[in-house]
Chains A and B, each alone.
Chain A
């Protein structure tokens, strides 16, 4: 027994000490003192509110991006034991003692720190030398803008982290595959790459650009695979399927997954409830469900209901009436019916209650068993508080004269008969005799006499209508418009025979039981569509900038200013690195075009192998810069300097690609190489000096005197604050 154990038990480990050292330095620069400042810094004020909502599990909608980024930030808060009680109202507000500042900021900082060794690995996978990789990593390490962005509760460092992992894993996969390796790990790399793409997209929509780049690269490689006639057709098919699963289907599934977690976490009603449909609200704990929880499901004759317009534009509102009539003449001289006003009212009110009446029966109570209302049935609607019937007739509507007026009928004996029969058409019915269901059914009310449809016109009534929303009858009723559709939101079976009792009953809350569930897909679609179509108010920001200003860093952002001293934190990059990176990009483009044209004329300046390496590095790094930069020119939203950081990361990697290429292939004589090395060392020293000089703006420490600050204002356009004493 004992003989089978071979002694001594040994472990062999290859440790790349340089990489470890760089990682440690990354951790030091990103993580040191992230507790400081103990105040809300810049966009923390924005993300913080969502973190708080996660902690309290309150539902919200944020149109700025998918939920993964917010959830990762919330994870930090959760691990730090944050209870969510903090008012995120202004930048610079001191954190109270219940806010675990360190753990809120540590995850983005870790991601930012890990970007440093990731840069190293990407360079190695692009088959550049380790020395080059060290160079690239040092540049990333000493990049002030990346450091600042990593040290706070912000999303860019997470985004860059996932972008780099996606690229790294894909390159690993590709390199391993083309070197003939066929093992399980190979496919793990591919799957990991797909997952990383999904994560990048899940943090910010802008991650999609790098995903597309990677997809393009994968399509190109797969196309070469298809062209390889040594492979059998079946093998090619399998390869294509596996790759498209890992890079197309898997990311989509992951994206769904993020939303699944998001929606399962946020199960309570929150600040953005009114934007969602009644069904969605009812699925949240506390909000509408508190009211609707015990409601009957099927609408019956005698039901007391509130009718909500399915369209929430301009605001969500309920069909409403009150004891005031339309004015006899409008401002423009047109006459009205002078009957009772019908409006749509954006607040809960006892006047929103309506009773559904069977035209053939007098009673306003639910018979037992309840007689349900089905698709195609004719009903009358009686206003609960005033007992007026919902009516429409051939009179021009107050604000939209091309449509019909809707009124609560009053008989003035002026040969204007009441026309109060409405046909119920359930728009989302499953069968022709579907029953009208609370919350779920979207109903169109078609007027029997004129076949007009009850519609929310979207316009506001003037002063006499209390600026409530206009409700009209619309005769052009083909197709589907949200403004024609209504759903029952609150519902109970009426029990009171007498008007007085009924009024009492209307004032009391509803209380009968139903329960329901929306499927995840329904919820996902609703939330995603709302996020994409939500109108983002075009806001101008003091520190917003245009993409043109980014390349040369003509702009900066003040992140934080000490309440009493001149200590301040800015998003300012290492300007030496930025300049070198710009040069590198220009040089790369020139070299690339030069080689490309010369190769076309069959002149090969560099070996074939080097050329392929050069092209691949260009596709990843220069391509990464292009796809992360150019699309911003087409965006209409408010842009900031930090949007440039992913592009910058790729550009820095490109710089070292160009330098190695110069060193190996352009500068042939040893004298030239020596001088290039000298220049490089001097450049690195300069980068360090720049990093060190700007570090008071990066870390907010040490504090600067008002005399020092003007010396750091290297560009006229930088906005740097000086506190006057």
Chain B
């Protein structure tokens, strides 16, 4: 295998050498080339300077090649420029249409505004993408005043073009990057062109790049990482040179960017990680390389691919927390300590009575991160769900319905004197301030967690029953200890049944307003779910003491926000009536996503990949597997292939292998995810699939020379390439209304622009 690999290296090295020769003196480059050969390890074993390679006939071809290279280079540049221009045009055409909020713009536009307004919010994704959107908006004159309430709202005279334009700009970088990557991997401009064309003319890629979404930003960083890794791989013969460092650092930066936008970035990190591990393994096996040199390689990669991205990623969060300093809609998701750093939050520079007392008004927060406040409201549990009494839930937002009164069991509070403190072991009642019901539990099953007991609001205006009694227990406390506000962890044990007040973290169905289930658990293990703290504490008869809260360190904030994000992500379960998209739908382009509009009169945009391209991608994956297996078996059987076939097989296995691995890593993990999935999750994988299509089809076309004479094969190759491109363009012409907007009748009507194009019943346009 080693010797096979070395035969194709010259082609790669030659480029660099000829390039340098054109710039500098001949002598140095000659030496460089020799060193490159030596450092290449076994490649250099034949002792031949790389530049003086021979063609298949054994004739020296240096001069001819370099001339050819020059032509190819200018050709490549012009094709690349064409790709870039085309992708800019396709992405920016009708960028301002429709002038209303489309689909998830309502989230990400809103979050961009939050950065401009500096109010704190919570989202399940890391902040970089939204920060960039906010920045783009800020620089183009958007002032953050548009509320982004629901899809379909008109932008009126707000400057939204900057944010959309920014996303479209990043989106238009994808085809050129794909071109360069495939060019680098396969050394074939045909493959690169096919790959770039699939992306340029894919309606799905266009649509997803045109709106204020995280996906174009994410895809940009993913593709950036891949390109930089590939470029870095090509520099392996000149380690520690300036371009080597450049590509290494750029890879790291892009990885940090990808992870900073969405956790999907982890997949590309895995890809780069595997690639690096393989590279290091190769270096370790190179016995000419001293061990000290290997350590240098290892530490450079640790720096560039671990430490640097990690630092950048943490810095993104640092910026996030510095920018968002005002209290906002995300407060309730975080712990009391966290909230105290937000301006405008009631815990900011808080002062309140230090110990919990009878007669106080309090809010009670679950210790489990994102467990919610103990909450109740006028609505009853529906029939069939336990007793038909008032609901008690966990609610993540601040609300007057979170307020509870602490009372003695007999309500014998002497109103005139200083109130007594509540102590460990005391039996109390909690009265819901708004509805005057008591916190109550009884032997009915809880709504979702059937082994727990239901918790309700019961009784009215001070009359209740023994099931309203709860015993206060300070965790780690002893009989008679007072309850410290904010700092004590408290458990509430139900007197009558012996269970403990518990927040399960499960989301109630619609009747419970999708709030968190609160139950009484018979399992008395001490878990954060059963521990609560007193957050707000109002008692006018007690002196307020300024609480110098344990201000959390940055590291604690970082960890806490990650836990909240991960919880939030796994909490996004498909609802009962929503039909979740299945991962197997995606590669077959089974069903798209409505970005805007449903009816005939509305302006409709539908996210759906160009079916010709997507089905070709699917076919190519099958073809690739077949071809790669054949190639691998041929190598394993030691069949002697001609130089050209050998080279092709190698490209197929190495370059194609990397892309195929990327596709797998960006696709398969979705099968194991329990959260709700959408069609657009496939787009990063689709990028890899498209690049793989480029390589696979190109090699398949090249293989024509196995059947036909060279001249015929070359014509065939060109014809097939032309045919493929025109098929892309024609299908794009057919399906372009999906991206650029449709009005008028739906596709089943012959009068529609899309008539006859609904090739699958499941497409909704």
Interface residues of A (CB under 8 A from B): 223, 226-227, 229, 233, 236, 458, 478-479, 537, 539-540, 542, 597, 600-602, 634, 636
Contacts and interface: CB of A to CB of B under 8 A. Distances in A.
A537 B451 CA distance: 11
A536 to B, nearest CB: 13
Contact of A479 (B450, B636, B762): B762
Given A458-B577, A601-B291, A479 B761 contact: yes
Nearest to A226: B636
A634 B284 contact: no
B400 interface: no
Which 4 pairs across A and B sit closest by C-beta, in order of nearness?
Answer: A478-B761, A479-B761, A227-B636, A600-B284
A601 B577 contact: no
B638 interface: yes
Given A229-B638, A539-B450, A634-B672, A597 B633 contact: no
Given A227-B636, A227-B637, A458-B577, A540 B284 contact: no
Contacts of A540: 449, 451-452, 523
Contacts of A478: 761-762
A195 to B, nearest CB: 28
A383 to B, nearest CB: 28
Contacts of B633: 226
Contacts of A233: 637
Nearest to A479: B761
A59 B211 CA distance: 54
Interface string B283-316: 0110100010000000000000000000000000
Given A537-B450, A602-B287, 13 more contacts: A226-B633, A226-B636, A227-B636, A227-B637, A227-B638, A229-B637, A478-B761, A479-B761, A540-B523, A597-B284, A600-B281, A634-B672, A636-B674
B450 A601 contact: no
B576 to A, nearest CB: 8
Contacts of A600: 281, 284-285
Given A537-B450, A601-B291, A602-B287, A223 B636 contact: yes
B447 to A, nearest CB: 13
A233 B633 CA distance: 11
Contact of B523 (A223, A229, A539, A542): A542
A226 B451 contact: no
Contacts of A634: 672
Nearest to A599: B285
A166 B452 CA distance: 43
Contacts of B281: 600
Nearest to A313: B576
Interface in B203-228: none
Contacts of B637: 226-227, 229, 233, 236
Interface residues of B, number: 19
Contacts of A227: 636-638
A50 B143 CA distance: 67
Interface in B133-163: none
A2 B636 CA distance: 61
Nearest to A541: B451
A601 B284 contact: yes
Contacts of A479: 761-762
Contacts of A223: 636
A725 to B, nearest CB: 21
A236 B451 CA distance: 59
Nearest to B635: A227
A539 B285 contact: no
Interface string B442-454: 0000000111100
Contacts of B284: 597, 600-601
A479 B452 CA distance: 42
A357 to B, nearest CB: 31
Nearest to A635: B672
Interface string B658-681: 000000000000001010000000
Nearest to A227: B636
A209 to B, nearest CB: 14
A227 B634 CA distance: 9
Contacts of B523: 540, 542
A226 B284 CA distance: 28
A233 B636 CA distance: 12
A258 B663 CA distance: 37
Nearest to A542: B523
11 contacts: A226-B633, A227-B638, A229-B638, A458-B577, A479-B761, A537-B450, A540-B451, A542-B523, A600-B284, A600-B285, A601-B285
Contacts of A537: 450
A136 to B, nearest CB: 33
Interface string B610-621: 000000000000
Nearest to B282: A600
A226 B635 CA distance: 10
A601 B636 contact: no
Contacts of B672: 634
Interface string B637-659: 11000000000000000000000
Interface string B728-741: 00000000000000
Contacts of B674: 636
Contacts of A539: 450-451
Nearest to B283: A600
Contacts of B449: 540
Looking at A233, A236, A540, A602, the one whose CB has the most chain B CB atoms below 10 A away is: A540
Contacts of A542: 523
B59 to A, nearest CB: 32
A539 to B, nearest CB: 7
A208 to B, nearest CB: 15
Nearest to A460: B384
Contacts of B577: 458
A542 B499 CA distance: 14
B679 to A, nearest CB: 16
A636 B570 CA distance: 11
Interface in B711-765: 761-762
A540 B627 CA distance: 49
A629 B672 CA distance: 16
Interface in B178-194: none
A714 B523 CA distance: 22
Interface in B247-273: none
Interface string B556-581: 00000000000000000000010000
Nearest to A631: B672
B761 A601 contact: no
B582 to A, nearest CB: 12
Interface in B569-602: 577
Nearest to A477: B761
Contacts of B636: 223, 226-227
A90 to B, nearest CB: 15
A46 B577 CA distance: 32
A539 B451 CA distance: 8
Interface in B434-468: 449-452
Contacts of B761: 478-479
A601 B451 contact: no
B208 to A, nearest CB: 25
B439 to A, nearest CB: 22
Contacts of A597: 284
A541 to B, nearest CB: 8
Nearest to B281: A600
A601 B637 CA distance: 27
Contacts of B291: 601
A479 B579 CA distance: 15
Contacts of B762: 478-479
A540 B445 CA distance: 13
A14 to B, nearest CB: 40
Most chain B CB neighbours (cut-off 10 Å) among A236, A479, A600, A636: A600
Contacts of B285: 600-601
A479 B759 CA distance: 12
A227 B452 CA distance: 61
Contacts of A229: 637-638
Nearest to A236: B637
